[in-house]
Amino acid sequence: MPRIVNPPHTTASTRCTTLASQTNLAENPPVTKTERARHLLTRLNQLYPETPVPLDHTDAFTLLIAVLLSAQCTDVRVNQVTPALFSKARTPHAMAKLPVAEIQQIIRPCGLSPAKSAAISKLSQILIDQHNGQVPADFDALEALPGVGHKTASVVMAQAFGIPAFPVDTHIHRLATRWKLTSGKNVVQTERDLKKLFPRDSWNKLHLQIIFYGREHCSARGCDGKKCFLCRELFPPKTPHP
């Protein structure tokens, strides 16, 4: 598997500007959740036709480790740290032999290094003992690994194995709430709601498209639900009657 690079945000920005100049939904904006979902899917496919995985990896194991490290850490920082780690160990067998203290020292910049290093060492040994040294393409087996929750398992299933999944992190949860696609109670409910609204064959690509758009155009501080391109299309300002 080739080294994955980050998405071309400047290209997406240009597409966003072009689309904004060509369309006007103020007269007939999408009203229902289904209409909003259909419109978002069309727009996000236009803005992000390609969705490279932001975390650098070469196979299912290195992706698993990178996603684990990304908890409460930026993808950029993870990509700065993993080359040193993977130069020493990029397979479960090699990682299990690496002292936990050495793993911890390498991944310290990612934060939570004591817990993450212990989890990486333990899950590597479990993969050897229970899965022939391979990352299992199974939700239950992945979520049984130390340090691996449902979101991490979903990312691995989607991006390493191509199995439809909809990983929902706080960013996707925030945008889904902002776009009124979910009640916004918690990420579990948001995942259920999004899976009902969007076609199954769109999930793996769509969760990355939402993340890319949120980072570039609709951040928590940069948009109040009225400023960015998609928010303005979904919820155009009401024009007062003369």
> Active-site residue numbers?
151, 169
- C-alpha–C-alpha distance, residues 209 and 186, integer Å: 20
Residues 6+ apart with CB under 8 A from 190: 168, 172, 173, 176, 177, 181, 182, 184
- C-alpha–C-alpha distance, residues 39 and 42, integer Å: 5
Q: What is the CA radius of gyration of the chain?
A: 20
Q: Kindly compute the dihedral angle of the four CA atoms of residues 9, 207, 56, 100, in this order, to the nearest 10 degrees.
A: 140
Q: What angle do CA 124, 125, 128 make, to 5 degrees?
A: 90
- C-alpha–C-alpha distance, residues 50 and 53, integer Å: 10
